[in-house]
Amino acid sequence: MTIDDKLKTALDENRLLILGTQVLFGFQFHAIFQDQFDQLSPVARALQCSGLTLLMLTVALLIAPSMEHRIVERGQNSPHVLGVARVLAGWALLPVSIALAFDMYVAMGQIIDPRWAILTGCLFFLIAVASWYLLAFALKKGERKMPERQSGGATPIDVRVNHLLTEARLIIPGAQALLGFQLVVTLTKAFSELPPESKIAHAVALCCLAVAVLFLMAPASLHRTGFNGENDPQFLKVGSWFVIAAPLPLALAIALDTYVAAGRAVESRSIAFGLAGAAIVVLLGTWYAYPIWRRTSAQ
DSSP string, 23-54: HHHHHHHHHTTSGGGGGS-HHHHHHHHHHHHH
Nearest Cα residue to 136 out of 43, 26, 41, 13: 13
Q: How far are the Cα atoms of 109, 187, 232, 257 from residue 199, in angstroms, in the given order?
A: 30, 12, 43, 10
**Taking a C-beta distance cutoff of 8 angstroms, is the pair 287, 247 a contact?**
yes
Q: Along the 299 residues of the chain, how does pLDDT read in single tens digits?
A: 688 888 889 988 988 888 888 878 877 888 888 888 888 888 888 898 889 889 999 999 999 999 999 999 988 888 889 889 989 998 999 999 999 999 999 999 989 998 999 999 999 999 999 999 999 888 877 665 554 444 446 889 999 999 999 999 988 877 877 788 788 888 888 899 999 999 999 999 999 999 999 999 999 999 999 999 899 999 999 999 999 999 999 999 999 999 999 888 888 889 999 999 999 999 999 999 999 999 998 77
- How many residues in the chain? 299
Domain count, the chain: 1
For residue 33, give its domain range. Answer: 3-298
CA nearest neighbour of 125 among 216, 56, 54, 215: 54
Q: State whether the Cα torsion 184-189-192-194 is positive or negative.
A: negative
Q: What pLDDT was estimated at residue 71?
A: 94
CA distance 201 to 222: 32
Q: What is the pLDDT of residue 28?
A: 82
CA 18/CA 56 separation, integer angstroms = 11
CA-closest candidate to residue 18, choices 60, 54, 52, 51: 60
**Strand, helix or coil at 140?**
coil
d(CA 264, CA 295): 40
